[in-house]
Amino acid sequence: MTQILLIDDETRLRENTAEILELHGYTIVTAQDGIEGFAKAMTVEPDLILCDVMMPNSDGYDFLERIKKTHLSHIPVILLTARAEREDERNGMTLGADDYITKPFEISEVISSIEARLNKVEQLKQAISQYSNKSTYELAKLINGHEIRTPLNIISGMAMLLFDLVGDEQKKQAAEMIKYAQASIFNITSLTNNIYIHELLKSNVEEKIFLDTKSIDILDNIKALSNEFDRRIEINFNPGTIKKTKYLYLKNYICVELVYNAIKYTNNSNIIKFESYVDGDLRTIKVIDDGDGFKAKLEDIQAFKKFSKRTDISGLGLGLSNIKAITDKLGGKLQINSSIAKCEVIVTIPITH
């Protein structure tokens, strides 16, 4: 609820104005002069300040000058005064007042001014938010771009080349080292991709990659994960269940991220099951494993929140939150059924997407 600080030394006017503003849905904090008003402003950090000009101890101009030198300088201040001199109004505006209302005033005039200032603040917040989201998205896009991926690909290629160059007696040891190097490269790639997807969704940018209907072979990507980490994955997947449609990139992300999570929280003796099928109007993506379960309610899933305390597993806590955000974007549903030794994650998406 919007909180307004009302500063006026006239008790009756202060109380009456406060009562009327409260009836209009505002929360009102009052003060009787500039000194008390400044103290309360610093304490409650209101959304807007109504301040009389002619007051004892510290008048409205003194208050305005002081408040504009603090971290509260962005808060709109509307000055109230019985003096209608042009010079007084100019003085207030010079000090940073957002509006100047002459007493006696109609309450409708005050309400109109309050709403105008609050709307202006909200528009500014939205503009800053959009700029911030766009800025962080561009950074995430850079992190996930070829500037990072190209060096990683070179490292991967050089590792395989070294394997070919070593003698037979060192092959086994070299293979183990390369296995860890490749896994680390994949982990870094996954982290940067998760950051990119997070910022892409947060920024609401309809990136071309969202709209591209080029074929992405999800089945090949799942098999590549199985080979990369030498894991057994039982696949029951008809590629036709996920067609060449809009947001195919995001559907691929759901499938790969769910399988990758299952790989991270299981070992070679565990079985991972990946399924995708159509039932009625819904397309279902399901991943089941018998590894480490975890406790997570849907309302607990948020960006950068981890549900495992294991320090040997890399991650930023973005995978599940990204999947939830994508599912919401596509009008679908996310379900998690987990126990100590089993985890089942199900994503259902309308076939219209």
Structure confidence by residue, pLDDT tens digits, 34-72:
899 999 999 888 999 999 988 888 888 888 888 888 888
What lies within 8 Å, CB to CB, of 346 at 6+ separation is 284, 285, 286, 334, 335, 336, 337
Look at residue 149 and tell me if it is in a domain: no
- The answer as to whether 188 is a domain residue is no
User: Is there a single domain that holds both residue 321 and residue 220?
Assistant: yes
347 within a domain of the structure (yes/no): yes
* 215 shares a domain with 101: no
Does this model's pTM top 0.75? My answer is: no
Q: Quote the percentage of the chain above a pLDDT of 70.
A: 68
Q: Do the domain assignments include residue 136?
A: no
Q: Is the pLDDT of residue 216 over 80?
A: no
Q: Give me the long-range contacts of 222-231 (CB less than 8 A, separation at least 24).
A: 222/255, 222/256, 222/259, 222/274, 225/256, 225/259, 225/260, 225/263, 228/182, 228/183, 228/186, 229/183, 229/263, 230/179, 230/268, 231/263, 231/266, 231/268, 231/272
Which of 161-170, 183-192, 222-231, 342-351 shows the lowest mean pLDDT across its residues?
A: 161-170
- Domain for residue 160, yes or no? no
Q: Are 225 and 92 contained in the same domain?
A: no
Give percent above pLDDT 90 in the chain.
10
How far is Cα 159 from Cα 157, in angstroms, rounded to an integer?
A: 5
User: C-alpha distances in angstroms, 18 versus 14, 24, 55, 88, 173?
Assistant: 6, 10, 18, 25, 78
Q: Looking at 97, 117, 137, which one is the last position of a domain?
A: 117
252-278 pLDDT, tens digit each: 888 888 888 888 877 777 888 888 888
The better pLDDT of the pair 247, 287 is held by 287
Please report whether residue 331 resides in a domain: yes
Give the residue, 335 or 181, on which the prediction is more confident.
Answer: 335
Q: Which of 101, 117, 133 is the last residue of a domain?
A: 117
Distances (CA, A) of 314 to 170, 176, 181, 200, 311: 29, 19, 14, 22, 7
CATH for 28: 3.40.50.2300
**Residue 91 reports pLDDT greater than 60:** yes
Domain boundary (78, 102, 117) is at 117
Q: Say whether both 99 and 225 belong to one domain.
A: no
State the total domains in the chain.
Answer: 2
pLDDT band for position 215 (cuts 50, 70, 90): low
Provide the residue type at 169 as one letter: E
State the distance between the two ends of the chain, measured CA to CA, in whole angstroms. Answer: 38
Mean pLDDT of 148-173: 66
Range of the domain at 280: 207-353
Q: How many helices (H) and strands (E) does the chain have?
A: 11, 10
Q: Are 307 and 293 in contact (CB under 8 A)?
A: no
- The predicted structure's pLDDT at residue 27: 92
Is the domain of 106 the same as that of 215? Answer: no
pLDDT, greater one: 37 or 194: 37
Residue 261 lies in a domain: yes
- If asked whether residues 215 and 332 sit together in one domain, one would say yes
DSSP string covering 296-323: --GGG--TT--S---SSS---S-HHHHH
Report yes or no on 194 lying in a domain: no
Tokens of 135: 């800025």
Take residue 77 and report the two structure tokens written for it. Answer: 């201040």
**For residue 269, what is the domain's CATH number?**
3.30.565.10
Does residue 90 sit in the same domain as residue 228? no
Q: Under a CB-based contact definition with an 8 Å cutoff, are residues 275 and 237 in contact? A: yes
User: What band does 128 get if pLDDT is binned at 50, 70 and 90?
Assistant: very low
Decide: residue 99, CB within 10 A, 0-12 exposed, 13-18 middle, 19+ buried. Answer: buried
